[in-house]
Each structure stands twice: as C-alpha cells, then as structure tokens.
C-alpha cells in the first residue's frame, strides 16, 4: 500500500509518497494549492500535470492552509478526481501540525511562520483554536509581527542606530521605500517576515564575545565560531582586540557549514568522494543535480541550503554540533534578542493563556467555563498539556522561544519542527 501526503501553503506544496511501512518512496514539490483562492481547474492542473508519481497511491492525505470546514468537501472532490479509487482526506494545516507534533496524544500545537496559529488538540481533533487574526490584528509570534516590531524599533529609536544603518544597507531600502512596501504594495506580511533572516543574523553576530567568554572566561585566547557561517576573534580576556572579517560563504567563511556544504557537493559531483555517499545523499535530500544547481544559483539564501547539508555529513561521520555565525557588539544583539522575546511573550499572552485557563478550569472549577462549553477530558492527564511548535520562526529562534515558554512560563515543549512532513509520515505510517 502506498500513501501520499501533502503539506501545502499558498506558495508551494511538499509531497511525500510512502509505502505501508512508512518508508519514503519519493518526495517532490509543486505549486501551492489553496482552494479559497484557486479555481477547480487550477487545482486539477497541478494535481494531474505537476505531480508525477511512480505509482498510484491507495490513500491520499492533504493538509493545506486554505482547507477550512467549508472547503473540505470541495477539496476532497478534487482529490478524488485526481486519484480515482483512492481513499482521500483533506484537512487544514492546523490539524496537520497537531498530528505531526503529537500523533494521537493531546497537546497544544503552534505554527509560527510568516503568520501564526495555534490550537488545543485532544489527540483526535481540535478542541479549541484562538483566531490568528492576521498580522495587523494578531499573529503574535509570527515573522510578520516580528518584522513590524523591528521596523518600529529602528525608526522610533528603541533599537541602536548601528542596527538601523546595517538594515537599510542590507535591504537596499530607505524609509519611503519601506512605507511603500508595507502600505501600498501587495503581500506586506511576506515583506515583514522577510526581515527575519537579517534579525537572526544580527543576533548570531553578538555571539562572538559570548563565545570568547564561554571559552576563556577572563583569560586571553583565539575564539572561533563555526556554524552556517564562520567567525573568529582575538580576545584579551575582557574585549575583542581583533576580528578577521568572515566575508560570507563565497569570499570566505572557511570552516563554516556553508563552505563545508560547497566542498561536499564539489566532492560528490567531481568524484573525489565515494559514489556510495553520493547515492545516499541524493536519496536523503530528494534532489538531483539540476535541483541542487537551482538551489545554489537561482533560489535565495544559498548559504542556508549549503549549510543544511551538514546534518547529513554529520550522520555519515558520526560527529558534530552546529553553532551559529558570530561577530559584532553584544549589546546590539541583545537589543534584538529582546525584540524576539517580546514577540513570543505576546504570542503566549494572546494565544496560549486561553488554552491554559480552559484546561485549569476543567480540572479545578468547571463552573468557570462558558455555558455550553465542553470540559477538557480529565482522562488525558493532569496539568497543562505538552506544547509543540511548527514553522520557520520557531526553528530559527528556538533559543528565545524556549526562554519564554519553558524558563518563564514553565511549559513543556515536546517538539520544535521547521516543517511538519516528518511527523505526518510517522502519523500515517501503517
């Protein structure tokens, strides 16, 4: 039996075909499918023309951001037309995240990406969902809201002027250009979220003095950070005396994850590495030679793609931990870190507190519940349920996210996943 699983957004859809034992037969990408914004013919065109499978699936599970309750019958009908004879099931991305994170166990599932969403999941269905409301009215914790907070900080002066100067250079924009992007051009949420890689880089840059202190305390030494990028400094026991510029993965960054990825790809395609490693890597990545070339030369953030190869390399040689790139002033990085923390605090206050209050009321005083609201099933265990996160923002800002949720609010994060596919495969494997 073959099972086809889709994780779809408006921009792209990730597909995985697995066998009955949960082994991946193939993976691929197509255009995003959102039934709210697309006509039937457009959806069928993608399903029948872009999705090329080696064999027909017996079961199809589609999880998408536009699959509301009202849209489920229509999406199921389209899937049935594309896969006649197969069992089909269309669900929203929120239930997909919950299943990926918890399987059949209860928990609070969260998606933090360009937008933000969350739900209380009882192991079978969504019991409660606080409305995300979009980046203007809500979406606390999202990339778009983080971008808003950042722009407010650099223009109103709560963030250091040096960060403002670097951002304007990095973005190639000025104040009027930013205002235009936010208020006049379409997809302002995507523009705001696109600032997050810069914020992440700036926070990582403050790690240099932290690394030096961690390595040497008050003694002198040469401190090195090797992560996606690479950086180093000469440290006198108090401050950084000298710093060689990292220059990025094209001109420098020797020792970094990105450069290691470059060397690895050169080796497997030019033959200096064994062909068995090449074969295993192509299966692991789901890419071929043209796909890799496209990632490096045509898609944005090639350094991150190259560095993403490092986990595979690490597995092959049974070694290694990864660290982020670093340089520059600690106080500037910490200012940005606080912006990230405030973003996650807002997410907690506006999205998670309602779930916590609901569970506590069910356990302590059911009269506190609103009339007609069913209590949380006490058989699912005492205390606040586990919490999990899916999405790029949760992935890239794992440390501040854990600070807020675990250290400050004493929640138990069971999983942080960049994308839900791995968890969905585990959920649906027979």
Rounded to whole angstroms, how far apart are CA atoms 118 and 412?
A: 16
Rounded to whole angstroms, how far apart are CA atoms 59 and 75?
A: 15
- The pLDDT, as a whole number, for residue 73 is 92
Rounded to whole angstroms, how far apart are CA atoms 425 and 217?
A: 45
Provide the phi-psi class of 270: left if phi over 0, else alpha when psi is between -120 and 50, else beta: alpha
Do 8 and 65 touch, CB atoms closer than 8 A?
Answer: yes
| CATH match for 2-85 among 3.40.50.1100, 3.20.20.70, 1.10.10.10, 3.30.420.40 | 3.30.420.40
pLDDT tens for each residue of the chain, 430 residues long: 889 999 987 667 899 999 877 888 888 888 888 887 788 998 999 998 888 888 888 999 999 877 888 899 999 999 999 999 899 999 988 888 898 888 888 888 888 887 888 889 888 888 888 888 777 888 888 888 889 999 988 888 788 888 888 899 888 989 999 999 889 887 788 889 888 888 877 775 555 565 565 555 565 556 556 566 666 656 666 666 556 666 677 877 766 677 778 888 888 888 777 777 788 889 889 999 989 999 898 887 888 898 888 777 766 554 333 334 443 435 444 545 655 676 577 667 766 677 677 777 666 677 777 777 676 666 656 666 666 666 655 676 677 778 888 888 887 777 776 666 776 677 677 5
Token pair belonging to 190: 């995507």
Do 278 and 268 touch, CB atoms closer than 8 A?
Answer: yes
Rounded to whole angstroms, how far apart are CA atoms 154 and 357?
A: 36
- Stretch(es) of the chain classified as CATH 3.30.420.40: 2-85
Q: In what order do the strands lie in the sheet with 221-226?
A: 221-226, 230-235, 240-244
- Stretch(es) of the chain classified as CATH 1.10.720.160: 207-327
Burial of 26 (0-12, 13-18, 19+ CB in 10 A): middle
* CATH class of segment(s) 207-327: mainly alpha
∠ CA 194-198-199, nearest 5°, is 100
Do 173 and 126 touch, CB atoms closer than 8 A?
Answer: no
Rounded to whole angstroms, how far apart are CA atoms 33 and 107?
A: 27
């Amino acid at each position: 039996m073959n099972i086809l699983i889709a994780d779809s957004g408006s921009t792209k859809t990730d597909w995985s075909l697995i066998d009955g034992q949960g082994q991946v037969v193939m993976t691929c990408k197509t255009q995003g499918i959102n039934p709210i914004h697309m006509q039937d013919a457009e959806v069928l065109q993608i399903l029948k023309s872009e999705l090329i499978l080696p064999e027909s699936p017996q079961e199809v599970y589609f999880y998408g951001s536009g699959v509301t309750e009202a849209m489920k019958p229509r999406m199921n009908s389209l899937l049935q037309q594309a896969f006649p004879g197969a069992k089909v099931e269309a669900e929203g991305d929120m239930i997909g995240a919950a299943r990926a994170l918890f399987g059949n166990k209860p928990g609070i599932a969260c998606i933090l990406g360009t937008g933000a969403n969350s739900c209380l999941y009882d192991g079978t269905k969504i019991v409660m969902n606080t409305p995300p409301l979009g980046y203007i009215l809500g979406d606390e914790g999202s990339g778009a809201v983080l971008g808003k907070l950042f722009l407010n900080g650099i223009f109103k002066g709560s963030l250091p002027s040096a960060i403002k100067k670097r951002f304007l250079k990095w973005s190639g924009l000025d104040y009027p250009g930013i205002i235009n992007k936010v208020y006049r051009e379409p997809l302002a949420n995507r523009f705001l979220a696109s600032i997050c890689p810069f914020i992440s880089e700036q926070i990582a840059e403050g790690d240099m003095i932290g690394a030096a202190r961690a390595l040497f305390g008050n003694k002198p030494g040469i401190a090195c950070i090797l992560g996606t990028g690479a950086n180093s400094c000469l440290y006198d026991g108090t401050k950084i005396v000298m710093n060689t510029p990292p220059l990025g993965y094209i001109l420098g960054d020797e020792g970094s994850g990105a450069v290691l990825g470059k060397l690895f790809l050169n080796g497997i395609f030019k033959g200096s590495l064994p062909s068995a490693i090449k074969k295993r890597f192509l299966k692991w990545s789901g890419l071929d030679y043209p796909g890799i070339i496209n990632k490096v030369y045509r898609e944005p953030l090639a350094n991150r793609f190259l560095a993403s190869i490092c986990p595979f390399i690490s597995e092959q040689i049974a070694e290694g931990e990864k660290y982020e790139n670093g340089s520059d002033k600690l106080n500037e990085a910490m200012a940005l870190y606080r912006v990230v923390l405030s973003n996650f605090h807002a997410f907690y206050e506006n999205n998670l507190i309602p779930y916590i209050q609901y569970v506590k009321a069910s356990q302590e005083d059911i009269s506190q519940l609103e009339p007609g609201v069913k209590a949380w099933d006490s058989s699912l265990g005492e205390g606040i349920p586990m919490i999990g996160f899916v999405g790029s923002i949760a992935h890239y800002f794992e440390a501040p996210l854990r600070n807020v949720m675990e250290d400050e609010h004493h929640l138990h994060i069971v999983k942080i996943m960049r994308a839900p596919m791995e968890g969905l495969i585990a959920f649906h494997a027979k």
